[in-house]
Amino acid sequence: MAEIDPIKTSAPGSLMLLGEHAVLHGHRALVAAINLRINIHLFPVEEKCVEIQSALGNYHAPLDQLVDHSSFTFVLQAIRQHQSNLPSGFKLYIASDFSADIGFGSSSAVTVATHAALLQWLNNKEPEPHTLFNVSLETIRAVQGRGSGADVAASVFGGMVGYTTEPSFDPVGISVPLTAVYCGYKTPTAEVIMKVEQKRSANADHFAQIYAEIDAGVEKAVDLLRAHDFPGFGAVLNRNHELMNEIGVNTPELQEIVSVLQNSPDVFGAKISGSGLGDCAIGIGYASLPEMDYPVHHLEITPLGCAYHD
């Protein structure tokens, strides 16, 4: 085959700001793309094989006999969705600005960047963003069994996005500085969702009230952000941390981090970010936190979603 230039794509990681768990029941969420990215280089080859290289390891298999690999679950599922249309094999190089162990939306970012590269190769043009969102969400749900798509929306569109599972996308157009602190461990999202759903089934009315308050908080937060009322926005985050504690996804480590963030003079508000039972807490503002024994990350919200590079 004639030599083809590599296809280069990237997608940002993300953080959930508001709406965790409630978004799975049709309520609003607020998610943000962050200034850490996953980069994909796709090189078509003559052989009918797939080769993947990344910091997580290497993979090689015939295109028509893809076997599972724990480090590349989302990438392989994305490839399977296009498998019958692929004209040849390819090499895929993955480079990330952040560890997959930290809850910065690596699964959604690598899924979006992989689909973007495959679709550009197959169609010789960049995919329409809503198409990219739909195929990427299909991958997430095929692997996890369930997923809101909020992280996918951030990786595709960039910026801060008000989101519901309809799906609906409401770009907020505001940026805030973020301090994210990783507690040192995380529970798989699917496992956390299962535990929360068991509790919700046992107390449906109470959870409905909590989720309604979370939804109203997202609506209020978007209005406050557009009015540049960051202390007001921080107060919404503080209240939503209390609600996440109420649904049972707080831990001693996360509570310690959130308390330190909330007491920092440089932070407007703080809460758990993501499904909970480990992973990250976030604060609005940059805090140095020298007293923290956990990794501290100062992040920005990036307006750049999935991108295609020369």
- CATH number reported for the structural domain that contains residue 291 in this entry: 3.30.70.890
Last residue of a domain, one of 151, 174, 197: 174
Are 183 and 121 in a shared domain? no
pLDDT at 2 over 50: no
Is residue 305 in some structural domain? no
Judge whether residue 253 has pLDDT over 80: yes
**82 plus 12 within the same structural domain:** yes
88 and 193 inside one domain: no
Domain range for 91 = 7-174
Co-location of 223 and 160 in the same domain: no
Q: Are residues 101 and 126 in the same domain?
A: yes
Percentage of the chain exceeding pLDDT 90: 92
Residues in CB range of 43: below 8 A, 6 or more apart: 4, 6, 90, 91, 92, 93
Structural domain contains residue 93: yes
Q: Does a structural domain hold residue 309?
A: no
Strand spans (E) along 97-207: 160-164, 168-171, 178-182
**Residue 278: helix, strand or coil by DSSP?**
coil
CB atoms within 10 A of CB 10: 24
* In a shared domain, residues 73 and 190: no
Amino acid at position 12, single letter:
P
- 4: its two tokens: 């083809």
pLDDT tens, 12-60?
Answer: 999 999 999 999 999 999 999 999 999 999 999 999 999 999 999 999 9
**pLDDT computed for residue 102 by the predictor:** 87
What local confidence, expressed as pLDDT, does residue 189 receive? 87
Q: Is residue 29 domain-shared with residue 127, that is, in the same domain? A: yes
Report whether pLDDT(87) > 80: yes
Alpha-carbon span 179 to 91, nearest angstrom: 36
Of the CA atoms within 13 Å of residue 40, those in its CB half-sphere come to 30
Per-residue pLDDT band for 3 (boundaries 50, 70, 90) equals: low
Give the tens place of pLDDT for each residue, 183-210: 999 998 889 999 999 999 999 999 999 9
- The reply to whether 304 falls in a domain is no
Residue 47 included in any domain: yes
Please give the share of the chain, as a percent, with pLDDT higher than 70: 99
**Is the per-residue pLDDT at 1 higher than 60?**
no
pLDDT band at 173 (very low <50, low <70, confident <90, very high): very high
- pLDDT, residue 240, reads 98
Radius of gyration of the chain (CA): 20
Task: Answer yes or no: is pLDDT of 292 > 90.
Answer: no
39, 123: one domain: yes
pLDDT digits (tens, 9 = 90+) for 91-124: 999 999 998 888 899 999 999 999 999 999 999 9
Contact assessment for residue 283 and residue 262, using Cβ atoms and an 8 Å cutoff? yes
Q: Say if residue 231 is in the same domain as residue 164.
A: no
**Does residue 43 fall inside a structural domain?**
yes
| SS3 call for 273 | strand
Q: Which helix (H) or strand (E) holds 224?
A: helix 204-226
CB of 285 within 8 A of CB of 300?
no
Q: Which residues contact 47 (CB under 8 A, 6 or more apart)?
A: 88, 89
| Number of domains comprising the chain | 2
Domain boundary among 119, 147, 174: 174
Judgement on whether residues 139 and 196 belong to the same structural domain of the protein: no
CATH value at residue 16: 3.30.230.10
Q: What are phi and psi of 39, to 5 degrees?
A: -110, 140
